[in-house]
Amino acid sequence: MAKYFDMLMEDVRMREGLKACMNCGVCTAICPAAEFYDYDPRQIVETVQSRDDERIEELLRSDTIWYCGQCMSCRPRCPRGNTPGYIIQCLRLLSQRLGFFVESEKGRQQLAIKRTIGENILRTGYCLVPRKILPEMHPEQGPVWRWVFNNDRDVYALFTPTYRQEGAGPVRKIDEQTLEEIHRIFEVSGGKELFDCIEHYSDQKACEMGYGGATREYMMDTFTKNSAEEL
């Protein structure tokens, strides 16, 4: 049986990203995630290529698949034309569809990404907008960002007449009809379904973990907690 492998192969990125891996480790040598984490793209490709359901399921439930930074540095270097970064995308999607992502700390973070970037897209038409880059959530942005944030209308007015207003220009307000089109695109193409799926499994897991549901507290814990640092 290779049920997970078959499910993965339905994704065109698997067909593009996995030819035949010869286990050379070039991808691991260049991978920034492999330098920082206990992470090895070569092993991931090898596991997927084994078609072994048990091993692939273990991967889908693990922190491992969530370490990749999606830089795609592995893609031009693989001597066999594989793209580990694409394989990771497919594993992550399957892990979410099957609800396995909530079984790992890194996987559970998907809720925080859905509730920040995902909801920004639906509400504003952008992945990020200045009002959502809160200095207290982004200490690394430093005092200049705090100054921009606190004076946003004055600062952006230097570069555009349409800050948070309709019309052309940077950081403008996107009109209602456009946002409606984006919503409908998410509905017909599976984007909404994935959002709902992330919420559903997160809610189940949060109950199991004693949060009483995927509350803001649960979401913030997935956003801020790193048990590797607590060791």
Partner 1 sequence: MKRSNWEEYQKSIADDKYYYARSCIRQNFFPGSEKAFLDIMQRDLGKEVFDDPLHTSCTGIGYHSDIVPLETIMTVVARQFALMNEAGYENFISSCITSFGIYTELLSTWEEFPETEERTRENLYKATGREFVKPKNLAHTSDIMFHHRHAIAERMTRPLINVNTGEPLRVVEHIGCHYAKIFPKKGIGGSEFPYVLAGMIEAWGGEVVDYPERRHCCGFGFRNYLVQANRGYSVANSQKKLESMAPYKPDFIVCNCPGCAMFLDKWQYTVAEMEGITYGRGGRGIPVLTYEEMAGLVLGYDPWKLGMQMHQVDVEPLLDKMGVEYDPSAKYLGPNGKYIGKPEPAIVNHRSQRNLYSIKL
Applying CB under 6 A, the residues found at the interface with ligand SF4 are 21-27, 30-33, 41-42, 45, 68-74, 78-80, 82, 84-85, 88
- 18 or 171: CB nearest partner 1: 171
Residue 112 in the binding site for partner 1 (CB under 8 A): yes
Residue 19 in the binding site for partner 1 (CB under 8 A): no
Q: Cα–chain-centroid distance for residue 108?
A: 11
Residue 211 in the binding site for partner 1 (CB under 8 A): no
The single residue listed with the structure tokens 């809720």 is: 111
- 143 or 210: CB nearest partner 1: 143
Closest by CA position to 94, among listed 209, 34, 11: 11
Helical packing angle, 191-208 and 216-224, nearest 10°: 90
Candidate ranges 21-29, 45-53, 108-116, 201-209; the one touching partner 1 (CB under 8 A): 108-116
Residue type, 230: E
Minimum CB separation from partner 1 for residue 49, in Å? Answer: 21
Q: Which of residues 74-93 bind partner 1 (CB under 8 A)?
A: 75-76, 89, 92-93
User: Pick from partner 1, ligand SF4, none: which does 80 bind, CB < 5 to 8 A by kind?
Assistant: ligand SF4
**Helix, strand, or coil (residue 161):** coil
- Using CB under 8 A, pick the residue from 2, 24, 113, 134 that binds partner 1: 113
- 36 or 147: CB nearest ligand SF4: 36
- Using CB under 8 A, pick the residue from 23, 38, 58, 151 that binds partner 1: 151
- 78 or 206: CB nearest ligand SF4: 78
CA distance 185 to 181: 6
Token pair of 90, please? 């497919």
CA distance 200 to 213: 10
- Using CB under 8 A, pick the residue from 185, 212, 215, 217 that binds partner 1: 185
Token pair of 3, please? 């049920």
Minimum CB separation from partner 1 for residue 169, in Å? Answer: 7
CA distance 226 to 162: 40
CA distance 97 to 178: 28
CA distance 222 to 226: 8
